[in-house]
Amino acid sequence: MDFKGYILKYFDIVKRNFFKLFSRDIGIDLGTANTLVYVPGKGVVLNEPSVVALNQKTGQVVAVGKEAKQMLGRTPGHVEAIRPLVDGVISDFEVTEEMISYLVKKTLADEKKLFGPRIVVGVPSGVTNVESRAVRDATINAGARAVYIVEEPMSAAIGIRLPVHDPVGNMIIDIGGGTTDIAVISLGGIVRSKNLKIAGDKLNNDIITYVRNEFKILIGEKTAEEVKIEVGSVDPDMGNFEASVRGRDLITGLPREVILTDSDLREAIAQSVATLVESTKEVLESTPPELVSDIMRRGIFLVGGGALIKGLDRLLQEELQIPVSVANEPLTAVARGTGVILENLELYRDVLIEGEDELPKEKITKSK
């Protein structure tokens, strides 16, 4: 390295240390159902539903996160509870910006920093350039100094400490709220992947449809999610579970209560689970044989909220004849991965979809 190179490297180190003193780094798992915020040295500091309540008369934000989710299905006419992300991508730019801004401010509420934070954001695999740019722009407008975009299965693999840079095959299935990412990773990149619109929200809708058809009762999304968590099972040998649900009788229009069992839930989500299994087989079929050999030895790792469905790992293992295990703390794997990337940005720079190092001169102007 010549003298000029040493000088540039020296100033780069000085600049990074300067920003560390006067700013904070943040990792965000921007999910359809929940958004998690990770701060290096502290861990996951926020886990909020990706919901924003808006006053339609004034256009003002009424609530964000847990408070807004409690309003789903319970708001008066002029207040609307909105999920600004659909299938893992931004459907409402302004509302997403408001949500990210709220989460960043809440995270940094006790810290007075001169510069905005550097933020690593996890997005589903296979996002388009337009979708990736929308995430970046919304995050910049929410106050970020620099934004780095990483695919969620890659971030999850890093979060559970898989050797993503080694010449070995790592397979991960990230079952989130809006999407499921199935990915084979090797040498710092995603070799094969598939993104499905079958995840937590689809299973909730399956349950709503089943209860409506079988019991002639209409239940809400929140009720469906609660019964899925409490009773949902894909393995009949896991034991017997049941829960009562309340809804509106479609015949009389009056409230009614019924008991749902784990057998009912298995029937309700059977088609979606079968699609998940078939999609995993398709990814394996297109994976190079050397990597398949590694996966057979190392196994498949499940992360995301859907990984907690009772018996899903056993079902996949039986269908694929490959060891399948649920990662430790699967709900926070992607968020923890963003934190690891922030702490070792140079090491993981090649896994990023997009990065921005410069301090933006002005905020992005949203198109009308």
Measure the CA angle with vertex 303, ends 337 and 193; round to 5°. Answer: 85
Residues 147 and 23 in one domain: yes
Residues 29 and 136 in one domain: yes
Q: Which segments in the chain show pLDDT lower than 50?
A: 11, 13-15, 17-19, 21-22, 357-368
Residue 32 lies in a domain: yes
Q: Are 26 and 37 in contact (CB under 8 A)?
A: yes
How high is the pLDDT of residue 41? 85
The shares of helix, strand and coil residues in the chain, as percent rounded to the nearest 5, are 45, 25, 30
Find the DSSP H helices in 92-199.
Answer: 93-107, 129-141, 152-159
Residue 5 lies in a domain: no
Residues 351 and 312 in one domain: no
Residue 160 lies in a domain: no
Q: Are 181 and 152 in contact (CB under 8 A)?
A: yes
Residue 2 lies in a domain: no
Q: Token pair 């905020």 is at which residue? A: 363
How high is the pLDDT of residue 127? 82
Residues 68 and 176 in one domain: no
How high is the pLDDT of residue 6? 55
Q: Are 125 and 193 in contact (CB under 8 A)?
A: yes
Residues 172 and 114 in one domain: no
Tens digit of each residue's pLDDT (9 = 90 or more) over 119-175: 999 988 888 888 888 889 999 988 888 999 999 999 999 999 999 999 999 999 999
Tens digit of each residue's pLDDT (9 = 90 or more) over 89-127: 888 888 888 899 888 888 887 666 557 889 999 988 888
Residues 180 and 87 in one domain: no
Residues 116 and 29 in one domain: yes
The residue among 58, 63, 158 whose CA lies nearest residue 106 is: 63
Q: What are phi and psi of 254, to 5 degrees?
A: -100, 160
Q: Are 193 and 183 in contact (CB under 8 A)?
A: yes
How high is the pLDDT of residue 112? 61
- 3-state secondary structure (DSSP) of residue 44: strand
Global pTM? 0.85
CA distance 36 to 65: 11
Residues 322 and 340 in one domain: no
Split into its structural domains, the chain has a count of 2
What separation in angstroms does the CA of 323 have from each of 274, 332, 350?
Answer: 18, 22, 29
CB-based burial of residue 70 (10 Å sphere; 0-12 exposed, 13-18 middle, 19+ buried)?
middle
Q: Within 13 Å and on the Cβ side, how many CA atoms surround 148?
A: 25
What is the domain-level CATH number for residue 337?
Answer: 3.30.420.40
Domain extent, residue 67, equals: 12-155+333-355
Residue 316 lies in a domain: yes
Residues 226 and 147 in one domain: no
Residues 207 and 136 in one domain: no
